[in-house]
Amino acid sequence: MCKNFAAGRLHYTTDYAAAYRDADAIFIGVGTPERADGSADLTYVKIVARQIAETVERDCLVVVKSTVPIGTNDELECLLREALVHDVQVEVASNPEFLAQGTAVRDTLQAARIVIGTESREAEAKMLEIYKPFNLPIVSVSRRSAEMIKYASNDFLALKISYMNDIANLCELVGANVQDVARGMSYDERIGDKFLNAGIGYGGSCFPKDTKALEFLARRFGYELKTVKAAIEVNSRQKLTLYRKAVQRLTCFDGLKVAVLGLTFKAGTDDLREAPSIDNVELLLGQGADICAYDPVGTGNFRKMYPEGRHGCGSIAYAKSPQEALQGANLCFIFTEWQEIKAVTPDAYKTLMRMALVFDGRNIYPLQAMKDAGVEYYSIGR
């Protein structure tokens, strides 16, 4: 689909000057990583803006797709205009993207909406022309509102997940089942049925970064963004909820063989940024656990952080299958809902492990199925 869509009109180059020089519109999509204080690092966006200013030889529209704090598009427009080498007009438009890892093409071609933020009729007309062939709903607003839509959307989803994680923890205390609760809530169209899965906390390159960046921005303006702050706090606590359950059950992990199923922050990507597996593995190694980890695509990246072998008083090895990781294990953690992991039957835990003790951060199995198989099973909010 992607190939047909691009059909001979997609060219690649490492020569940025050649790409910018004669363009009608230039899209900036570089990263805005998190700084130590939680703010967004705009270094890369500014480098690109400067390169554009030094290169363009005709009037053009610079479109910022990168997630940037509110007001950055204004700032970039000033920077560009001040640094222009040739006598040309440049204007900046905001066009935040809403792509999720692993579904970028679908999220582009079948986007729920296209958001454009402009400050002139000309810029708006150009953006509408660019997106006309997509035939998707377009929300045309000011630049600052467009920048805010991106943060408000991501932070709302992060909040929704944290809310369900909070409810899940309470469900455990009061004897309710969070999956049943979510199902009951989902029929209400005002709530919807998406992003209601309680689990081990959100990770990835966007939610953790964008919640912190908006909270930081609010503070800079003297405002306390209490809801987003709460989402951040709930999430950092949630990441270790399984570990705490395991400590309660076993007291210590010294010399225990621990199977870890799933390393990436979600299924469908090899990305480990802010993955809950990292915090948990770090603690388990520190406690002397001998880990055998499995992930269908994430082990290559995880190995770079934790090479096979000893780490302090613990050790880590990597398995080619979930079954290999489970062989002879004293306990198992599930951190990612990969299909390959979901396919492991409850009986396999019972037959392969030394102790059939499973801590599942993704609520993969029905409680009864694990009970019937003789597995001691702990999950989230059930």
Which residue from 76, 161, 291, 341 is in contact with ligand UDX, where contact means CB under 6 A?
161
Which residue from 95, 101, 299, 363 is in contact with ligand UDX, where contact means CB under 6 A?
101
List helix spans (H) across the chain. 2-6, 16-20, 43-55, 72-83, 104-109, 121-131, 143-174, 178-186, 207-220, 226-238, 241-250, 276-286, 299-305, 322-326, 339-342, 346-352, 367-372
Q: Is 98 in the site for ligand UDX (CB under 6 A)?
A: yes
For 24, the token pair is 């009608």
- Please give the size of the binding site for ligand UDX, defined by CB under 6 A: 17
Which residue from 69, 117, 203, 314 is in contact with ligand UDX, where contact means CB under 6 A?
203
Q: How far apart are CA 261 and CA 90, in angstroms?
A: 50
Q: How far is the CB of 154 from ligand UDX (least distance, A)?
A: 6
Which residue from 20, 151, 202, 253 is in contact with ligand UDX, where contact means CB under 6 A?
202
- 3-class secondary structure, 138: strand
Which residue out of 60, 206, 292, 332 is catalytically annotated? 206
For 326, the token pair is 């489970």
Give yes or no for a contact between 204 and 273, defined as CB atoms under 8 angstroms apart.
Answer: yes
Q: Which stretch binds ligand UDX (CB under 6 A): 3-11, 70-78, 92-100, 363-371?
A: 92-100
Q: Is 27 in the site for ligand UDX (CB under 6 A)?
A: no
- Comparing CA positions, the residue from 271, 317, 315, 274 lying closest to residue 297 is 271
Which residue from 32, 66, 72, 154 is in contact with ligand UDX, where contact means CB under 6 A?
154
In the region spanning residues 124 to 153, those forming contacts with ligand UDX, defined by CB under 6 A, are none
Phi, psi values for residue 319, rounded to 5° = -105, 155
Q: How far apart are CA 348 and CA 356, in angstroms?
A: 9
- In the block, which residue shows the tokens 């870890």? 260
206 counts as catalytic: yes
Q: Which stretch binds ligand UDX (CB under 6 A): 21-29, 53-61, 135-143, 203-211?
A: 203-211
Q: Which stretch binds ligand UDX (CB under 6 A): 8-16, 24-32, 77-85, 192-200?
A: 192-200
Centre a 10 Å sphere on the Cβ of residue 219 and count the other Cβ atoms it contains.
15
Q: Is 325 in the site for ligand UDX (CB under 6 A)?
A: no
Q: How far is the CB of 315 from ligand UDX (least distance, A)?
A: 27
Cβ nearer to ligand UDX, comparing 127 with 267: 267
Q: Residue 363 region, left (φ>0) first, then alpha (ψ -120 to 50), else beta?
A: left
Q: Which stretch binds ligand UDX (CB under 6 A): 45-53, 93-101, 138-146, 309-317?
A: 93-101
Cβ partners under 8 Å of residue 173, min gap 6: none
Q: Is 382 in the site for ligand UDX (CB under 6 A)?
A: no
Which residue from 44, 156, 195, 216 is in contact with ligand UDX, where contact means CB under 6 A?
195
In the region spanning residues 242 to 271, those forming contacts with ligand UDX, defined by CB under 6 A, are 265-266
Cβ partners under 8 Å of residue 143, min gap 6: 73, 74, 92, 93, 94, 117, 118, 119
Which residue from 62, 148, 206, 375 is in contact with ligand UDX, where contact means CB under 6 A?
206
List helix spans (H) across 110-225. 121-131, 143-174, 178-186, 207-220
Q: Is 238 in the site for ligand UDX (CB under 6 A)?
A: no
Q: How far is the CB of 85 from ligand UDX (least distance, A)?
A: 34
Q: How far apart are CA 364 and CA 342, in angstroms?
A: 6
Phi, psi values for residue 363, rounded to 5° = 50, 50
Which residue from 197, 211, 287, 330 is in contact with ligand UDX, where contact means CB under 6 A?
197
Q: Is 212 in the site for ligand UDX (CB under 6 A)?
A: no
Q: Which stretch binds ligand UDX (CB under 6 A): 1-9, 54-62, 83-91, 196-204?
A: 196-204
Give yes or no for a contact between 178 and 199, defined as CB atoms under 8 angstroms apart.
Answer: no
Q: Could you list the residues that contact ligand UDX (CB under 6 A)?
A: 98-101, 154, 161, 195-197, 199, 202-204, 206-207, 265-266
- Residues annotated as catalytic are 206
